[in-house]
Amino acid sequence: MKQQAGAGRDRWLDRWLPLIAERNAAPDGVRQDILELGCGEGIDSATLAMAGHIVYGIDLSAQAVEKATARVPAARFRCQDIRAPFPLLQCRVVIASLSLHYFTWPETLEIAARIRETLAPEGILLCRLNSVNDVHYGATGHAEIEKNYYRVDGAPKRFFDEADVNRMFSSGWRCLHLQETISHRYDHPKNAWEAVLERTRH
């Protein structure tokens, strides 16, 4: 999935910056770190840093982490698998853009549960998930591992319909926003679900 100059037009986080600032605020005015899962080369990290947030990003690719560090020197980055323990014990905001689709369904549910455990009550997760309509990037024509989960170019890749998204966040979450969108970050238009979830108190 080659990144293009069009990445600069994929400013999906911009409209959520006021909500992020609101939820990341504290009575003493001190903001917590924002946890970014699958930070890639730091495009979203840079958006958050420019808005005054402190970012702690993780990514499986050492090369991506190196580029993210160069792009956003004020942030912290770590090379690690999302399935490993998160580097922050608690935060108010988690970002996960196109990074939660590599896993079996039980692993996917377990990651969603760990994100919830990491968030303070009324903390939010902003994420984007591959849509089953993402035909340019593997949603059709590949060997199926399980429902909506394929081996694409040798790697497992999951695609979500609306019911899958709702199942993933059915326990302990309140959906603030869910919409299928088209990103122009890559060579071809990419269909993805954009979701904003709030951790409920119970």
Question: What's the pLDDT at 113?
Answer: 98
CATH number of the domain bearing residue 25: 3.40.50.150
Q: Does the structure show a pLDDT above 70 at 17? A: yes
Question: What's the pLDDT at 7?
Answer: 53
Q: Does the structure show a pLDDT above 50 at 4? A: no
Range of the domain at 50: 5-199
Q: Is 70 helix (H, G, I), strand (E, B) or coil?
A: helix
Q: Does the structure show a pLDDT above 50 at 24? A: yes
Percent of the chain residues past pLDDT 90, beyond the cut: 88
Whether the Cβ atoms of residue 102 and residue 156 lie closer than 8 Å to each other: yes
Q: What is the pLDDT of residues 151-170, one digit of tens each?
A: 999 999 999 999 999 999 99
Average pLDDT, the chain: 93
Question: What's the pLDDT at 194?
Answer: 98
Q: What is the pLDDT of residues 49-87, one digit of tens each?
A: 999 999 999 999 999 999 999 999 999 999 999 999 999
Tell me how many domains the chain contains. Answer: 1
pLDDT band at 20 (very low <50, low <70, confident <90, very high): very high
Q: Does the structure show a pLDDT above 90 at 8? A: no
E strands within the chain?
A: 34-37, 55-59, 76-79, 91-97, 119-130, 143-146, 149-152, 155-158, 173-183, 190-199
